[in-house]
Structure 1
Amino acid sequence: MTASATEEIVTAGFVVIGDEILSGRTKDKNIGTLADFLTEIGIDLCEVRIVPDIEERIVEAVNALRPRYTYVFTSGGIGPTHDDITADAIARAFGVGIDFDPRAIAILEAFYPAGGMTDARKRMTRIPDGAELIENSVSKAPGFRIGNVHVMAGVPAIMQAMLEAIRPTLTTGPRLQSRALDADLPESRIATALREIQSAHPGVMIGSYPRSKDGRFSTQVVVRARDTALLDAAARDVETAIAAASAS
């Protein structure tokens, strides 16, 4: 499977799996990593769901997102323990069988010393029927791809390695460009102008992000667009609005 580029917008959804994320015991880092990765290559991350280690909830989330977006990514739940149930849930979502995969077994047997392939480690070789493996250069236990769903580890370093492994296989769209403009003003002073600029520039997204330091409020305005000319025009209008509000 090789990469291709398109002028169409390419979209993605993300399912983060794990009780430890919902309880706060583990602080998720993968959402930001995936968002940065996809933005860089021209794929829009449109939705993120965080679900517990419950098979029905994983199946529900994956089946809701996979017809909606070009790609779906998951993180978590493909390790060696009893609560790592993602592979079974994905097999159920696609209505296929699941078994120990000889390709995955060969990878782990080559990695672990003789006798090191325990039952727990062998559990990580259970792959849904028809899935392609995703290389794991860190700990070797592979992720997998089935349909438009990419199933990856929850450990941030491993997930990042898996993302690099699949990078060449992903269809990419036009990249979203952005420009940040700082206003030494509270958000309320420019809110009306930003709303008018947004209405005047279809195809441009404008976000405002208030900040506070030493009791003084300021705002960063971020303008996003795929078309450079549209981006430049909207950014100029935002600069004019900031200057006008600052002078008043």
Structure 2
Amino acid sequence: MTIRVVVADDQELVRSGFAMILDAQEDIEVVAEAGDGAAAVEAVDRLAPDVVLLDIRMPVLDGIEACRAISARSACRAVMLTTFDADEYVYEALHAGASGFLLKDVRRDDLVHAVRVVAAGDSLLAPSVARRLIEEYTAATARPAGVPALSADRLEVLTARERETLLHLGRGRSNAEIAAELTVSEHTVKSHVGNVLAKLGLRDRIQAVICAYETGLISAGS
């Protein structure tokens, strides 16, 4: 199955470079390029791709608003691109529905891997971005205005094992690592993760990380 991708960045060299790398893969096809957020939304509406790469800072409509619009009316998965791991919009982009977050200096193989992972329904963060998210953007003191905290009562629907699974998700651990910690199979962990996402109404593992911090299950720096 071919993964159909839209690449959106206002820098033509960056945009064409990413498109060239992805188009060289047998299982990936770049169906459109866009130079601003509005054009990206239009391309996604028209072409229904599997994945869209969105630069956070674009003219006309920025990447966050484009991501929010796309997530509200499409199954297309968004991967946000930025130059800095300390970008102040990381947290807001994830709340807008982003499924991944990468730095623009990402290695060729990691870019391709990210598109495949996100297209398969999982989520992905560059390690430095994940650290930034955990240390800054999910801390209560760093929460942007207008983004409400989640009540710890929300976790009462989870079993003890599901809460433990959410704790490990919040710490950025993979299914294999969680399985080793809990002494269970990866299949069992996958089932627990699915239950956590379904019961809490979360889209993916990234939202689970945010939930773990905002409900106080994990505190920044722990």
TM-score, scaled relative to structure 1: 0.30
If each structure's strand is expressed as a fraction of its own residues, which one has the higher value?
Answer: 1
TM-score, scaled relative to structure 2: 0.33
If each structure's helix is expressed as a fraction of its own residues, which one has the higher value?
Answer: 2
